[in-house]
Structure 1
């Protein structure tokens, strides 16, 4: 009997979530450790514990550096001791380029060389990939004028006050409890690939989860209704790291297309699109179980048998809102090779570019591609396309599209693209059917480490499939994009269809607009979000005027909340659709303190950041809105 008991335990461990935890997930904060230390005590709902108050136990703003109730240096030092020295004083990495105490010529040269590479920002404890979201408080100075740039020109004001370099669950629990009990704003950063300011915040305490690395392949896994391949993945893992971990396993995992993007965190919590979206669904559709530290500081497992409210909310209901993820169990699929067919053509006005086609034919070709695009989805592929202004005086428009088709040979994908090429020829674009490329399923996503980064604002729209299947809607959609491009802007579209059927009919909080879309459209303001506030606002207003056409031709649709305009009107509907009411109930129940706040997150309408100049940055106090 004892032998059978042991065998039963072992068999259960083969499928148990907790039996495959990473070593750093076994280091927890205990109830005994917080006795006599109210600043790190666990939360007791429904009233937040305000250790450092202004005498009334109520405040209108989160505690901010310089406030009378801001923890003293001795308290921060004591907190650092409980963390084992994991507390980092936040500072912009660019400060070494400014004359003053931080100036260092050699380090500044390194910053200049690497600043445009996303690896630079992802490996920094506090720096965002898009500096405008923190208010451009420490911009990179011109290379020829260092002497005139003093330390006062680099304030790092939009950065967190302190960062916890989390390498154990205990680190996260301590940070969560300390922030909640001192009423300090709390943020979470993994890589900083964030375009809305979710991973930055002035005067905040930041949890840096970037170093929670780990990967364990589970060739046979069972949980709830799922039986198949899976993997446990640490929340600090980036796309390229997961791909490297898969080498030799004959398996594929849905990861972001950007090599340095964090794959386990904001990606799946916001939806998460990839090259395999039309075949396997979104990142949210891959998650089987989650280990997470919640707002009360407790470390819990979220799966079909435990905390099912959070299983719904965290899969698509927004990053930075529900807790700090330490690891997930993710679906794995068979090795998925992909063949890619490139489509290229250009258009220009007469006399501007003799190698380009007339603009009338160019836009007729765009319409023909859009009409063809639902077929890409139906075969499990995606169409990755751009319309850009190029040429010496931006006098040429270029269209590039890559049809990325899984489980197709080079011959098959060329035959698949042939009808599209025929239609393009018919409207006056004399191009040939190109020879596709083929990737085995691993090299395709390994890529080079370090995506290029930018610092401009943009907006997105999930165009419904009907916009490309109905002739009248197709015309109006093409005209809207045409008008936007004529305004001087660039356009990026990704054709994919993560329908309920493709996703396996999951009960999760993915924006319902995703289930009906056939193109994720991204509209870019090509001007950097820098300069005086009034100028930035004027540029933004012009941009939104041209973007309005996208909304007009897709009433009731929505946006991808991870890639969007932070000032999107009616964002509750645009980002969450009909799921918002249910999500708000879960938020109020799970986080009555309002600890996990991010712009456009569930429940965020109750707070606002007092940023200078009226810009939607995170450079300011986070304050409660009354009335």
Structure 2
């Protein structure tokens, strides 16, 4: 009967909405009054979801003529860079540029508009709300976008004229003392996390049981959703692997409005795709069950060093690149910034030895006596949560306009060509005067490189990498459009510089969750190869044949126009065949 429901659902859409084979239409946007549901239809829908329909506003709207409110504007200005506050605003993105409105807290503008912020949103708190929203969007051919916290560097969680499914308030967590499924038995202390839970909430709650999950360095990132489905690198990745490596099961709503259990044995192809193949495109994840581990103690060191000139700085960066394999072999992880003539580093070692950390770091200092070490400190924390709460969580500002492009740097290159790598890092380094940075993350290698029993589609570039390097750029709202375009182009150019260390003919790879929307050959860079991309795309077409879930540079988005609102005509044959096969299945099942 399950198959019958699915087939009848699609047939209902086809005939009730006249979505015939010849006329799969562009999405209906709020600007199109001829197809946008009328007030009565919206009222009936709102009643069906317990009044959970809300109206999003751009985050700065209350400081502009559009919706000016003196008290609310004062709060907004005070909280503008607070990631927790931004995640609580239905219309806000963590980086303001993705709202794409002319609203600003810095200039009171009469032209403040909705921009890319959806016009209506469902504040979902139950699976029933999600199912009803998916069916309503499909039936009315609406552009549907999905968001929890708005941590999104590609603008996938927002779209002009759209309906937003907001999952931020789905906050349940459950500890499963003994988890088992068809292929796994007796996994101790798995945790089921709903779609709106953020990593700070996960870490805090699990710390009560002296447990930890493999999650983000930023506490306001949603634990389930784009982070997890994109692979999810973590401060603990070298210790236990990527976040997607820990997933045991998903609870999802597919594009037919049905709720499905997804694991290695049920909907196994969808399980493979969701684990690394990108969020927002295959199904809506209601919750995920992931492994936890006894929390490690953590030893930490910070180091900031400056050079007086370019020659001295080149020596520093080469020495640092040579230092990376040494600390990697010792189980260290690190985040570092290469900007101007300064190198700033945060090292941490799960279950590390404080004395050994200090001895190793002191040796690095001794090897660079001609440099000025601004500060060098070390600390020991009894658990990961203390390290997260005292060191990582406070360093999480957002709100600014921001773009990034990343590259995964192979471990073999770091070890064999440190001088060339250092030269490229210096070419791509950041400049404080322009708002740019080169952020490195020693979070690959170790258990990330362990491919045993990894049932997922994580970009294979992660499995051979040691570093994730990110070229970042921020700017203010008052920056001219011409200058913004120039800075956006510079992000891509700096990332391309990093490709120079790769062997001739090899394909650069990116972390798709930290990537530029204008990256060329994004299918191969984000997903590892054209073969993997095509496999993901076939799964996408199986579970979402009408492309209800479409987002920037997500699998299947190349079948849509650049604004992602209209299917390309080349898709009509595929949709034709899909409908034909569905009708055949009806007669086969009912006969």
TM range (shorter): 0.7 to 0.9
The Cα offsets for residues 325-373 of structure 1, whole Å up to 9 and x where unpaired, read as 111111001111111122220123xxxxxxxxx3322221111111221
1:3 maps to which residue?
A: none
Q: Evaluate the alpha carbon distance shift between residue 597 and residue 450 of structure 1 in structure 2; reply closer, same or farther with a 3 A threshold.
A: farther
2:51 maps to which residue?
A: 85
Alpha-carbon contact 2:306-2:343 (below 8 Å) kept: yes
Q: 2:473 matched to 1:513?
A: no
1:326 maps to which residue?
A: 286
* Candidates 401, 405, 419, aligned match of 1:455: 401
Q: Evaluate the alpha carbon distance shift between residue 343 and residue 180 of structure 1 in structure 2; reply closer, same or farther with a 3 A threshold.
A: same
Quick check: 166-175 or 397-406, which moved more?
397-406
* Candidates 544, 565, 582, aligned match of 1:622: 565
Runs of 5+ consecutive residues of structure 1 not aligned to the other structure:
1-29, 36-40, 349-357, 390-396, 611-620
* Candidates 46, 65, 78, aligned match of 1:113: 78
- How much has 1:58 moved relative to structure 2? 1.9
Alpha-carbon contact 1:232-1:330 (below 8 Å) kept: yes
Distance 1:166 1:203 in 2: 19
* Candidates 266, 273, 276, aligned match of 2:236: 276
Distance 2:401 2:73 in 1: 20
1:70 maps to which residue?
A: 36
* Candidates 582, 585, 588, aligned match of 2:541: 588
Q: Evaluate the alpha carbon distance shift between residue 543 and residue 328 of structure 1 in structure 2; reply closer, same or farther with a 3 A threshold.
A: closer
Structure 2 counterparts to residues 127-138 of structure 1, below 5 A: 127-138=92-103
- How much has 1:308 moved relative to structure 2? 0.6
- How much has 1:591 moved relative to structure 2? 0.6
SS in 2 for 1:588: helix
Alpha-carbon contact 1:63-1:69 (below 8 Å) kept: yes
The Cα offsets for residues 125-146 of structure 1, whole Å up to 9 and x where unpaired, read as 121111212323422243xxx4
Root-mean-square deviation over aligned CA pairs: 2.6
2:367 maps to which residue?
A: 423
* Candidates 117, 134, 152, aligned match of 1:159: 117
Alpha-carbon contact 1:373-1:383 (below 8 Å) kept: no
SS in 2 for 1:541: helix
Q: Evaluate the alpha carbon distance shift between residue 367 and residue 339 of structure 1 in structure 2; reply closer, same or farther with a 3 A threshold.
A: same
1:572 maps to which residue?
A: 523
1:617 maps to which residue?
A: none
Distance 2:388 2:491 in 1: 33
Q: Evaluate the alpha carbon distance shift between residue 530 and residue 192 of structure 1 in structure 2; reply closer, same or farther with a 3 A threshold.
A: farther
The Cα offsets for residues 100-146 of structure 1, whole Å up to 9 and x where unpaired, read as 5x32111111111111211221001121111212323422243xxx4
SS in 1 for 2:539: helix
Distance 1:249 1:83 in 2: 36
Q: 2:435 matched to 1:477?
A: no
Q: Evaluate the alpha carbon distance shift between residue 329 and residue 546 of structure 1 in structure 2; reply closer, same or farther with a 3 A threshold.
A: closer
Aligned residue pairs, count: 552
Quick check: 435-444 or 517-526, which moved more?
435-444
SS in 2 for 1:219: strand
2:135 maps to which residue?
A: 177
- How much has 1:547 moved relative to structure 2? 2.9
Distance 2:73 2:466 in 1: 45
SS in 2 for 1:452: coil
SS in 2 for 1:582: helix
Q: 2:116 matched to 1:168?
A: no
- How much has 1:50 moved relative to structure 2? 6.7
Distance 1:379 1:293 in 2: 43
Q: Evaluate the alpha carbon distance shift between residue 531 and residue 321 of structure 1 in structure 2; reply closer, same or farther with a 3 A threshold.
A: same
Distance 2:344 2:8 in 1: 53
Distance 2:102 2:139 in 1: 29
Distance 1:175 1:97 in 2: 31
Distance 1:539 1:200 in 2: 22
Alpha-carbon contact 1:530-1:536 (below 8 Å) kept: no
The Cα offsets for residues 489-527 of structure 1, whole Å up to 9 and x where unpaired, read as 421100122556546430201000011111100112243
Distance 1:165 1:570 in 2: 36
Q: Evaluate the alpha carbon distance shift between residue 57 and residue 131 of structure 1 in structure 2; reply closer, same or farther with a 3 A threshold.
A: farther
The Cα offsets for residues 552-605 of structure 1, whole Å up to 9 and x where unpaired, read as 323423010111111111001101013212111101111101011111100111
Please give the TM-score of this superposition, normalised by the length of structure 1: 0.83
- How much has 1:528 moved relative to structure 2? 4.2
* Candidates 169, 177, 196, aligned match of 1:211: 169
Q: 2:396 matched to 1:445?
A: no
The Cα offsets for residues 184-237 of structure 1, whole Å up to 9 and x where unpaired, read as 111110000111101111111111111111122233333324633311111211
- How much has 1:434 moved relative to structure 2? 4.0
Structure 2 counterparts to residues 35-54 of structure 1, below 5 A: 44-45=9-10, 49=14, 51-52=16-17
- How much has 1:486 moved relative to structure 2? 7.2
Q: Evaluate the alpha carbon distance shift between residue 241 and residue 503 of structure 1 in structure 2; reply closer, same or farther with a 3 A threshold.
A: farther
The Cα offsets for residues 241-292 of structure 1, whole Å up to 9 and x where unpaired, read as 1111113312111111111111111111001111101011111011101101
2:510 maps to which residue?
A: 559
Distance 1:432 1:131 in 2: 33
- How much has 1:93 moved relative to structure 2? 3.5
2:149 maps to which residue?
A: 191
1:352 maps to which residue?
A: none
Distance 1:514 1:56 in 2: 41
1:538 maps to which residue?
A: 486
Please give the TM-score of this superposition, normalised by the length of structure 2: 0.87
